[in-house]
Structure 1
Amino acid sequence: MRKIHGLSGALAAAAFLATGLSAFAQTSYFDRFNGNWSGGGSVRLDTMPAPVNVSCDAAGARTKANAFSLNARCRAMLVFSREFGADLSRDPKGGAYTGVYRGAKSGPARLSGQRKDSTLDLQVTWGREIYGDNKARMLIRHEGGNTFSIQVIDQIDGKPVIVSDLSFERS
């Protein structure tokens, strides 16, 4: 093994260590979503005057070093069932997250955003207008442990409204 000398060697070693720790921290974050989950919450359906309660099952898996996929199915009122999911990847250089949300009636939606601590803060661009525009916000929170949540917030009549609020527990 080659000996590192002087300040430049110390800086190189520090940079290598920081890069390795950053990759480890990111890997740990993606790994939080691996496995099977169950839960539920409320979802606003355009055909209903008030949000409905749903129960859900989900499965998460890393698909690459900087990517993961989440697939879920929610049920309500014995007649409603919808599959949805998200495929997200992280740019290792800039840290931006991009991906696709599947399951919206408008077709696949684009996701883009950043991670702030334990929350992915994503802009959703729907395939067509919903509630007067094609934009919304999705927050995926995972603070460690065996729970995480997903909220979708949309502008309705000029006010932010939580249109989906789901919490999951590892099953």
Structure 2
Amino acid sequence: MTTAAPHLIAAVSLSCIVTALTCNPLRAAEIDFLERFRGTWSGSGKVQREGASQPRQVTCSVTGSPAENRISAQGTCRAALIFSRPIGVDLVYDPRSGTYRGTYTGSRIGPAQLTGTRSGDAVNLRIEWPRPVNGDTQAAMVIRNDGQGMLRITVADNLTPGGPTQQTSELVLARR
């Protein structure tokens, strides 16, 4: 064996590691999923702001800007002449743990922390509100992107302390 052989083995090993990191089918699938959020989206839905209130019809527009291991979507929702609120989601994907973590903005009580995982076309997230909403600081959000130009965001919470969990918001957006 020549003295160049250890260097050749090291170069081949490094090449194998780089290929495994960049060409991993699971990582490629996640990159493809994140790209689904690129562009401008608009649509409508219903939002229930408080447990005792009736759901309000809203129209929303959002611009999605994915980056490596990240989804960022910012926009506005409006309810006729009643209110207009900036909304946004900023999620970072950790390929080691398969977990999404980030922030949701749009609640009048301030930004909420998000943590969850993807299953198929949906990212299932736990919301941690900065202050109690409907008696507690937790809710659930599902962001579903079918890859066919439809984006659905739902939030489920209990409307009374200790009460049953039910859907409190649903937005359905289409890519423009």
Bin for the TM-score computed over the shorter chain:
0.7 to 0.9
| Counterpart residue number, 1:117 | 120
SS at match of 1:29: helix
Gaps of 5+ in 2: 1-12
Say what the alpha-carbon RMSD is for the aligned residues: 2.0
Amino acid at match of 2:70: A
Gaps of 5+ in 1: 1-8
- For residues 1-171 of structure 1, what are the structure 2 equivalents within 5 Å? 16=20, 19-46=23-50, 49-62=53-66, 64-157=67-160, 158-171=163-176
Change (3 A) 1:48 1:82: farther
SS at match of 1:28: helix
Q: Rg bigger for which structure?
A: 2
Structure 1 residue 19, shift from structure 2 partner: 4.8
- The separation in 2 between residues aligned to 1:79 and 1:133, in whole angstroms, is 26
SS at match of 2:34: helix
Structure 1 residue 79, shift from structure 2 partner: 2.7
- The separation in 1 between residues aligned to 2:78 and 2:139, in whole angstroms, is 23
Residues 7-41 of structure 1 show CA distances to partners (whole Å, capped at 9, x for unaligned) of: xx9xx79x939952222211110000000000010
Asked whether the equivalents of residues 50 and 159 of structure 2 are also in contact (C-alpha less than 8 Å), the reply is: no
Change (3 A) 1:132 1:17: closer
TM-score between the two structures when normalised by the length of structure 1: 0.86
- The separation in 2 between residues aligned to 1:77 and 1:65, in whole angstroms, is 36
Aligned residues: 159
Tell me the percent identity: 35
SS at match of 1:144: coil
TM-score between the two structures when normalised by the length of structure 2: 0.84
- Runs (4+) of structure 1 exceeding 4 A deviation are none
Amino acid at match of 2:42: S
